[in-house]
Structure 1
């Protein structure tokens, strides 16, 4: 599947503060689709979030939909389908929002997506992962849509060209469905200037860890001997963090005044990140969570687990989400109906501008990249792998003063994660694992945030377009005979 006949899809570029209008036509023959604008807060425009079964019905084959929203953040992000695991078939692309930089640079190299690639379709892999909790191995890892074929001939390395003596901005994006990566460049450090859409105090490192959905804006100084250098991707030693049949995924960093060729120095693997995010990044704009208002309880604890009977599915507090494509949660909001089905896994957040705190406890040994729509959250703390449940003794380790802030972070295997966000954005916002088969298998909750105020934000025209889209989808779904085999997300 392609977006405008491109893989990855075309980069959406705009400036901070711009209002953008994106027209989508679904030219697929047998699939619905939707477009989610990953990491965008969608302030006042939850109806444009692009989450089918939550904020809209899928776009049926042959139909069109217009998304209109404002870029209230700047930096690097991406768009992707939220229709089952469809983005794994190619329905994704980068977004670049121009704005200030926390470190000067000379050349913007643009967005650089890195993703796992499978010869099987995402639909086939969804079915396979319903029968085994073991993750599939990717057939390759692609850099900006290309790589050599590790199983034979053909293909080509991606090449990043540096101008000697210049500082370059590279916008890394992990657009994978399963694999988390460590990225390094032989002989070169990278300076991190933004994590997700959050500018940070510049931080120089030899490698960066990118979980699924995360972005890192890094600068690279072209100050080494002109030549060709490997950009290497390694996966943490635990196979549950990612695995590929390509034993050494790589791209080439090329100096413009050097002959084109293959690098000759392999480099050394970076220290194993153990599938955990660094909590050392310091946001430029400081925010503080009032830890004195945090009290762990059953009401703000989310237990993550999976079951294998009769199929593999993932649960949060014992429930797997299973959205209704034909009746999204937003339909309930528009009709003042609070009888939400249990299968929507709804969590009510209805107090205005209060800080909400969430303890995620991972009962399984599998680490998970946790993504929240409509917010960037504060990462107050995360355990070591295998630490078990969050305890009173762990509270002292939490950091409320300007902690890491982003929209994706890792929940350690058999460990815990504590997040906070302020209830300042009315809407229906899902929080889910960004491993495609996990959210497809039910790993999500739907935060209904101040929905009594949400209805007033929706114009009559947008409400009519919503209803028309759903009528088109229901008509297609009823006539097509297609069967929904997963959560729908």
Structure 2
């Protein structure tokens, strides 16, 4: 279905417009001397793509199911351009009974916020039988991806890689290209969504794990992905977690991986034997082929059950790496490293991830505390951020209203206008049992700090219903999918939740739901690497933990801040007018 992860897939070039006399189009601009948020080349080149979105029967792991495919491919075609190019993608909706829209994950969309691809926020959906052309200029460079932002269509295969060639600060010889890793479901997304709501936000169990859309299922010998190594060469791998829910642990048996970029942010290189990616996150790594010309080794993608609920046998995907003289009729026999099946759900320590181009956050114009809660709402449960949940009107996009000067939005749309405030700082506190990969549109955020919340009295000093229990990491693992071999069970007993909806601690005043930020803080005010904190567009927020994020208000628009889980979105839209 896709050339990615096959012998037919060619390595990527350093850039598409290489000039032997002058090199790539960014010339002297490099990782350490250029602030890509403010300065970039202008090639005058537009790269064009034509996408047809259709519902088709396919069998990536040998089991036929209905998927939403881009040009009949899964993963979708690679979008490739140079830093300084523009891209133009015409999307034709061939789905007969529903709309669609594409979000270009990690694109800042400076000066083009209507191209962000979120229906009800930036645009109306693309109607069945209709088309829409996205035109924008990528501001940053590196590895990204695109996916449907309409309902949960991305859970049924509607996604693909996006590569913006740019300067390199770590040398390598061969660019292997995108390696997408994703959990996978044998049911169409609408069935998953219905079960998700009927079961009061119980995370749906995935059926498999895929690398570049490939893996076997239950011993059926469906084709695996494969990659080529050349002995003595350094290889760049562009790792992308396109999962609906799963945290992914990526490793190569017996090899270290040098991490050179997270999301669209080049970083000071560091070495690890396992790369951890939450949904939506990307890491570019360089791997030295130190083996012999006849070697073959396994690349592994493992989704820990305590982070990523799945059916038994669904947690591991493997791909074969063949050296130039390897016998390709024989599968590798290498063994996993000691940390390949690590069960920690969080990202690497903030101290390890140092941006190569330093930027220092100033004092924020606004600081707010945002507890994330799961609350019952009639027949189901909904996610709330700071006492508010979220709905949009597909036929009345928020950005169009803001452009027309209408900044009064219905309360349920959860829009907050920060006007001319220079920067925003949020202490996002996870009171529940699920991890949340927090994603921002239109910006990269600094990740200033992270850590555990002691208890609910820290988050809700004025009292809160007992169902807002802060789980310890161990409790969260027990409730969220269980350990390896354990049976999955609900993270919440629904009856006690509903019975306690109106209960409060009698000896404490009730919180004021009309005041955003009237909560306690888990954060002690410390910042990791305050002169140059980590930057990225997705950061994992563990159960019972907090993260502190900050970004500059330098990009006018309406930008969602939400959980990247495909069916757990909890947007809190931010308006800069």
Q: 2:357 aligns with which of 259, 280, 285?
A: 285
CA distances 1:103-124 after superposition (whole Å, capped 9, x unpaired): 0111111111111110011111
CA distances 1:386-425 after superposition (whole Å, capped 9, x unpaired): 6764747621355422111000001111111100000000
Aligned residues of 1:370 and 1:431 also touching (Cα < 8 A): yes
Distance 1:294-1:425 versus aligned 2 partners, 3 A rule:
closer
Aligned residues of 2:182 and 2:243 also touching (Cα < 8 A): yes
Residue 185 of structure 1 corresponds to 252
Q: C-alpha distance in 1, partners of 2:532/2:252?
A: 30
1:402 aligns with 2:543: no
Distance 1:376-1:176 versus aligned 2 partners, 3 A rule:
same
RMSD (Å), alpha carbons = 1.8
Aligned length: 440
- The runs of 5 or more residues in structure 2 that have no matched partner are 1-67, 460-519
Residue 134 of structure 2 corresponds to 67
Q: C-alpha distance in 2, partners of 1:33/1:46?
A: 18
Q: C-alpha distance in 1, partners of 2:228/2:404?
A: 54
Q: C-alpha distance in 2, partners of 1:31/1:294?
A: 41
1:139 aligns with 2:207: yes
Q: 2:346 aligns with which of 242, 264, 276?
A: 276
Residue 174 of structure 2 corresponds to 107
Length-normalised TM-score, structure 1: 0.86
Shift of 1:325: 0.4
Distance 1:355-1:331 versus aligned 2 partners, 3 A rule:
closer
Q: 2:441 aligns with which of 359, 363, 373?
A: 373
Q: C-alpha distance in 2, partners of 1:88/1:418?
A: 29
What are the within-5 Å matches in structure 2 for residues 413-424 of structure 1? Answer: 413-424=543-554
Aligned residues of 2:208 and 2:310 also touching (Cα < 8 A): no
Shift of 1:26: 0.5
SS of the equivalent of 1:258 reads coil
1:428 aligns with 2:558: yes
What are the within-5 Å matches in structure 2 for residues 83-482 of structure 1? Answer: 83-132=150-199, 133-149=201-217, 151-225=218-292, 226-236=294-304, 238=306, 240-245=307-312, 246-260=314-328, 261-270=330-339, 272=342, 274-278=344-348, 279=350, 280-290=352-362, 293=364, 300-308=368-376, 309-351=378-420, 354-384=422-452, 389=459, 391=521, 394-439=524-569, 443-449=570-576, 451=577
Aligned residues of 1:237 and 1:272 also touching (Cα < 8 A): no
Q: C-alpha distance in 1, partners of 2:320/2:419?
A: 50
Aligned residues of 1:381 and 1:399 also touching (Cα < 8 A): no
Q: C-alpha distance in 1, partners of 2:309/2:557?
A: 33
CA distances 1:182-210 after superposition (whole Å, capped 9, x unpaired): 11110111111100000011111101100
Q: C-alpha distance in 1, partners of 2:375/2:205?
A: 21
SS of the equivalent of 2:176 reads strand
Q: C-alpha distance in 2, partners of 1:237/1:112?
A: 22
Length-normalised TM-score, structure 2: 0.74
More helix by share: 1
Distance 1:273-1:44 versus aligned 2 partners, 3 A rule:
farther
Q: C-alpha distance in 2, partners of 1:356/1:161?
A: 45
Distance 1:249-1:228 versus aligned 2 partners, 3 A rule:
same
Aligned residues of 2:392 and 2:413 also touching (Cα < 8 A): yes
- The runs of 5 or more residues in structure 1 that have no matched partner are 452-489
The more displaced of 205-214 and 254-263 is 254-263
Distance 1:393-1:173 versus aligned 2 partners, 3 A rule:
closer
The more displaced of 272-281 and 425-434 is 272-281
Distance 1:106-1:7 versus aligned 2 partners, 3 A rule:
same
Distance 1:432-1:256 versus aligned 2 partners, 3 A rule:
same
SS of the equivalent of 1:438 reads coil
Distance 1:237-1:122 versus aligned 2 partners, 3 A rule:
closer
SS of the equivalent of 1:249 reads strand
